[in-house]
Amino acid sequence: MNQRSRLVAIDWGTSSLRGALIDMADGRVLEEQSHARGILTVPPGGFREVFDDLFGAWMRENGAPCLISGMAGSRQGWVEAPYCPCPAGLAEVRAKVREIEPGPIAIVPGLSDEHSGVPDVMRGEEVQIFGAMALSGLQDGLFVLPGTHNKWARVKDGRVAGFRTYMTGEFYAILSQHSILARTIDTSAAFDEAAFLEGVSRAENGEGLLHNAFGARTLSLFERMAAGELASYLSGLLIGEELRSQSVRANGEVVLIGSPNLTQRYALALRTLGTPSRTLGSEATWAGLHALSSSSD
């Protein structure tokens, strides 16, 4: 049937919106589009209109169903798709997919976890993890998704057993833009591997981020580090701090999912700990939406 031969897959995040037309038979991406139409740019009640404008043609031409992941399923999104608690695999997530009428459009729920009374959440990353499992064939392991709010997810028997969020990306942004470090840091400088690794290694001293971050100020004050190097050093301090609170060393390979400029930093930092990693990019999102759609048949 034509209806089943295509999937309109959409990743609708806070600040961006990406779509792919996918061949259901083999998961191949036939067409892709990307727009600066994150949910923050959509007025209340305006989601259907944006969707029809951008994806109406794909829907009509292919008679295809549509599956949407990301913040479009949050309280501020199109319709809220309540979190699916961990442990959660394809079956648990599928059972909580929220249909939108008139369809066939559905929104993937995020995942929730809880640690000693404090909740944790993700929205969109769960699809990337499912995609990474499909692409890599791994059913167990540690999956890391760097970003503004990084996710470290433990996968067991093909399900997300649990996860933790780290605000590493956001700390980098606010420290380099709003703290005293902003005066001397040049975040537009090219990545400096040596300065980055110096930061990673510095974080290992156990003195904590609150102290080590001040070192990025004094190294500049004493003219021991240039403005361009400082950005990479701060990035290393933060990623090093994040790794320090993990017990990754003993856990074998890590699967990194995300944009190359971030995943290469994590791969580098993990290598200094002797931890191998493999990397997947945006293809994981499409593979995940495809996996969620396929077996629901």
Task: Choose one: 101-109, 129-137, 236-244, 272-280; the region binding a copy of itself (CB under 8 A).
Answer: 236-244
Least distance from a copy of itself to the Cβ atom of residue 232, Å: 16
- With a CB cutoff of 8 Å and minimum separation 6, the contacts of 209 are 171, 203, 237, 238, 241
**Coil, helix or strand for 282?**
coil
C-alpha–C-alpha distance, residues 173 and 294, integer Å:
38
C-alpha–C-alpha distance, residues 238 and 228, integer Å:
16
Least distance from a copy of itself to the Cβ atom of residue 255, Å: 19
Nearer to a copy of itself, 116 or 188 (CB): 116
Contact by Cβ (8 Å): 83, 25 = no
Nearer to a copy of itself, 71 or 90 (CB): 71
Phi, psi of 272, deg, nearest 5:
-65, -20
DSSP result, 10-64:
EEE-SS-EEEEEEETTT--EEEEEEES--GGGSPTT-HHHHHHHHHHHHHHHHT-
Least distance from a copy of itself to the Cβ atom of residue 173, Å: 8
Tokens 């990084």 belong to residue: 150
Nearer to a copy of itself, 190 or 222 (CB): 222
Q: Taking CB under 8 A as the criterion, which residues in 194-213 touch a copy of itself?
A: 202, 205-211, 213
Q: How far is CA 275 from the centre of its chain?
A: 21
Q: Taking CB under 8 A as the criterion, which residues in 140-159 touch a copy of itself?
A: 149
Nearer to a copy of itself, 133 or 270 (CB): 270
Nearer to a copy of itself, 150 or 293 (CB): 150
Burial class (CB in 10 A: 0-12, 13-18, 19+), 57: exposed
Residues near a copy of itself (CB under 8 A), total: 42
Q: Contacting a copy of itself (CB under 8 A), which of 70, 108, 242, 254?
A: 242
Binding mask 37-76 for a copy of itself (x = CB under 8 A): ----------------------------------------
Burial class (CB in 10 A: 0-12, 13-18, 19+), 268: middle
Other CB atoms within 10 Å distance of the CB of residue 208: 11
Determine, following the binding rule CB under 8 A, whether residue 82 of this chain makes contact with a copy of itself. no
Binding mask 156-185 for a copy of itself (x = CB under 8 A): --------xxxxx-xx--xx-xxxx-----
Tokens 């199109």 belong to residue: 78
Residue 161 carries which side chain, given as an amino acid letter? A
Nearer to a copy of itself, 40 or 91 (CB): 40
Q: Contacting a copy of itself (CB under 8 A), which of 15, 218, 251, 259?
A: 218
Nearer to a copy of itself, 131 or 199 (CB): 199
Binding site residues, a copy of itself, CB under 8 A = 115-121, 149, 164-168, 170-171, 174-175, 177-180, 202, 205-211, 213-215, 218-219, 221-222, 224, 238, 241-242, 244-245
